[in-house]
Amino acid sequence: MRVLVWNEFRHEKTKPEVAKVYPDGIHGAIAGFLQSEQVEVMTATLDEEEHGLTEEVLERTDVLLWWGHVAHDEVQDEIIARVHKRVLEGMGLIVLHSGHFSKIFKRLMGTTCDLKWRVADERERLWVVDPSHPIVDGIGEYIELEKEEMYGEHFDIPAPDQLIFVSWFEGGEIFRSGCTYQRGKGRIFYFRPGHETYPTYHNPKIQRVIKNAVDWVKPEFGIATNYGKAEPLESISSKELK
């Protein structure tokens, strides 16, 4: 399986407190725990040519993970169209944290994807509300995070195909933090936690969820690109209209 981790890679360059938590970038941290004998992991960032999302790279990508925050508008529309097409063909997509406001997620959802937020070092408890789902295999009843950014309802997204996590925050809000969708042949998972100043992606349970999600969103039967005129599998006899 071939996985591509995409990250803006801006905070790590401009904020020492972020670089301290993620010295190799958020993409580097995620790629590090995903790499295995069964998974080939690549990374790409905003400032690379074509944002690192060339036709050739996407053609060899089974699952794309997306983390963005301050530079959503800098992502070129033609690149988003390329990613969108690939998702519809079957590429899995995992959108992390503030990637909810990315062009690709908003295009796939067809809504504003707006929400309430607050950065106040709050405790977050992610409750598993669908314990039978493969994404939460090995997680238990909940995940407890000592500090995270608060996201609150209303979250302007379509009703999820499956709701996996609901978060409770110390300030009292709740949030739909783990949602799945199907668009075309592609599976999508949105996973909320992951503010850049907190070591969320070093948490073993968060890592387990992302690993499970990669396995769940991957294309089961390959990525379909052979649309168009179809030749018949068998000969078609002529029929007289009566």
The two tokens of residue 239 are 């029929």
Q: What does the pLDDT look like over 181-219, one tens digit per residue? A: 999 999 999 999 999 999 999 999 999 999 999 999 999
Q: Does the pLDDT of residue 242 top 90, yes or no?
A: no
Residue 227's pLDDT band, with cuts at 50, 70 and 90, is: low
Residues 44, 53: contact at Cβ < 8 Å? yes
Cα angle 216, 219, 225 (rounded to 5 degrees) comes to: 160
β-strand 2-7 against 63-67: which pairing, if any? parallel
Fold assignment, 2-110+177-217: Rossmann fold (3.40.50)
DSSP 158: P
Residue partners of 134: CB distance under 8 A and separation at least 6:
212, 215, 216
* Sheet bearing 116-128, strands edge to edge: 40-45, 2-7, 63-67, 92-96, 186-191, 174-183, 162-169, 116-128, 142-152
Q: Where in the chain are the domains?
A: 2-110+177-217
Instruction: Give the per-residue pLDDT at 232.
Output: 85
Q: What does the pLDDT look like over 21-38, one tens digit per residue? A: 999 999 999 999 999 989
Instruction: Give the per-residue pLDDT at 225.
Output: 62
Residue partners of 84: CB distance under 8 A and separation at least 6:
104, 107, 108
Instruction: Give the per-residue pLDDT at 79.
Output: 98
